[in-house]
Chain A
């Protein structure tokens, strides 16, 4: 069902294109040998090249090139064996050279596709226009001093991949799914860690609207540097509504660059970008055209890991999971790997339920990650075995799991320590039922007289008296028999 925003004159469609800036995973910067780690002391990861000192020259980092190729292949995109670096000229405090080395007419990666999975189970292919390599700028901080801005060039020169989508998204939700999927693919490839809080992934959203059914594109505005998926969605929605309001009151939208104020939930015009920038792009004369060896591209292609879409298909096919469950598990490679370890030689549906349910819940509660989990895949698997062999009921398993999370001990140890083996001895259960009956004759009479809803109470009481260990199925069976007596 299409996303439409209502207006006085009718419904409006939203047209969204996203430009994502992804910091490349590499040890050193794109054109200099300085380090790229986050959070270092100011100006300690800056070479003379990054500082734009007189006479300094760029030399390209081979791994950054490979990561761009890898990402392009992950987006099923065309790899341009010849590409050119161009200078984008403008003045800003965080841009030491007075230009950014980027790519303009001939980027390293061309057209590709990214598929998003919508909640209704359908898929939508979003076109990728291009991917190019460029330098990141330094950081300027404006709140350290009343009259001065502070400049740290640690980030200056770090490699970025700019991934430009075609304007084919039509709702904030689709935009969110696009970023999520893109992030997931790059994390699978190891080309970007997708850490939006640290700024490894930033989005610029291009938004325009048009009356429902129209085909021409109206003027778009660009919302720059949004650093969370939630904010991307909020910003798009606000901006679309703003455009509609302007159009419906008879105004026009001028092309502008805006910022999203996440505190107020609004976009506003960037004062520093009043006039359109003339970037005066030209091929960087300090760099020759980048020519890729086809063998290198093939080598990267052959070594690509299984990507989320392929993995999801395999999970559905080989593990019999629903598309939805498979989708949840493959969103993150570490989760998918965790699941497969747990599911190996076991009931995959059970494994999927436990991983996506209790296990993910435990991650949230403890603030831990799949890479550093409170319960290992081996231990979770062992616990599932204890369910399958009857040692644990589903209910007991939940208790055991909670203890595993808390203590880190394997299930067998905890079962032994706490004597949590489920009671399947009919005699024992019977005795427990007898005891509860004896203590509550009036209630027994009520059930026998037809008050069925009290049966649940009896189940609870017997369960409590056995320390939760009674096998539920057996309990229900014996209780029913007992009531019939």
Chain B
């Protein structure tokens, strides 16, 4: 499975990671190698096999509808790189 630099650029964009143009070819090479390696799974016969969605053979436990959390805005904002008036702040988004 071979990826070209355009494809790598679009994947990097989906993942919001900036990749310098000069790094793209090498990265494309690495990723292509990895994809070739994992693509060997195609030869495994999995007809009728159910995907494994969880290792634990349990069902989803539910919790009661009681307020047990929240109410500590200082802790929530404690690690914020930037905050103002109780809000997180980011570069302005234009819709």
> Do they bind each other?
yes
Measured between beta carbons, the chain A residues less than 8 angstroms from B85 are 42, 144, 150
Q: Are A151 and B89 in contact (CB under 8 A)?
A: yes
A contact residues vs B (CB 8 Å cutoff)? 26-28, 32-35, 41-51, 59-65, 84, 91, 93, 140-142, 144-153, 259, 270-272, 278, 280, 283, 285, 287-291
Nearest opposing residue in chain A for B92, CB measure: A149
Answer whether A91 and B16 are a contact pair too, CB < 8 Å, given A42-B86, A44-B70, A150-B84.
yes
Asked if B66 and A148 make an inter-chain contact with CB atoms under 8 angstroms apart, the answer reads no
Give Cα distance in the complex from A280 to B56, angstroms. 24
Contacts of B73 in A (CB 8 A): 41-44, 46
Contacts of A288 in B (CB 8 A): 53-54, 56, 58-60
Q: In the complex, what residues of A have CB within 8 A of residue B90's CB?
A: 93, 140, 148-149, 151
Task: Report B-chain residues with C-beta under 8 Å of the C-beta of A149.
Answer: 89-93
Q: Residue B69 at the A interface, CB < 8 A?
A: yes
Q: Please tell me if the beta carbons of B91 and A64 are within 8 angstroms of each other in the complex.
A: no
- Can you show 22 pairs from A to B with CB atoms below 8 A apart? A33-B67, A34-B69, A41-B73, A42-B73, A42-B86, A42-B87, A47-B70, A91-B16, A142-B92, A146-B92, A148-B84, A148-B90, A151-B87, A152-B86, A152-B87, A153-B88, A270-B95, A278-B14, A285-B53, A288-B53, A288-B60, A290-B60
Query: How far, in whole Å, are A147 and B82 apart by their CA atoms in the complex?
Result: 13
**B93→A272 contact, CB < 8 A:** yes
Contacts A149-B91, A150-B85, A272-B93 given; does A45 touch B66 at CB 8 Å: no
Given contacts A28-B67, A148-B84, A289-B60, contact A84 B94 (CB under 8 A): no
**Residues in B neighbouring A291, C-beta threshold 8 A:** 59-60
Inter-chain contacts of B71 with A (CB < 8 A) = 34-35, 44-45
CB neighbours (8 Å) of B93 from chain A are: 93, 140, 142, 149, 272
Interface residues on B, range: 35 or more
Closest to B82 in A: A148
Top 5 A-B pairs, shortest CB-CB distance: A34-B70, A63-B65, A33-B68, A33-B69, A47-B69
What 14 new A-B contacts, CB under 8 Å, besides A64-B65, A142-B95, A152-B87? A28-B66, A28-B67, A48-B75, A60-B60, A60-B61, A141-B87, A142-B93, A145-B84, A148-B92, A150-B85, A151-B88, A278-B14, A287-B60, A289-B59
The reply on B76 being an interface residue by CB < 8 A is yes
Q: Which residues of A contact B65 (CB under 8 A)?
A: 26-28, 61-64
Assess whether A285 is in contact with B54, with CB atoms less than 8 Å apart: yes
Task: Note all chain A residues with C-beta closer than 8 A to B62.
Answer: 59-62, 65
Q: Given the complex, which residues of B lie within 8 Å of A147, measured CB to CB?
A: 91-92
Whether A60 contacts B63 by the Cβ 8 Å rule is yes
Does B77 lie at the interface of the complex (its beta carbon under 8 Å from any beta carbon of A)? yes
Q: Give bound CA distance, A291 to B73, whole Å.
A: 35
A62→B84 contact, CB < 8 A: no
Q: Are A43 and B77 in contact (CB under 8 A)?
A: yes
> B58, B60, B65, B90: which has the most chain A beta carbons within 10 Å?
B65
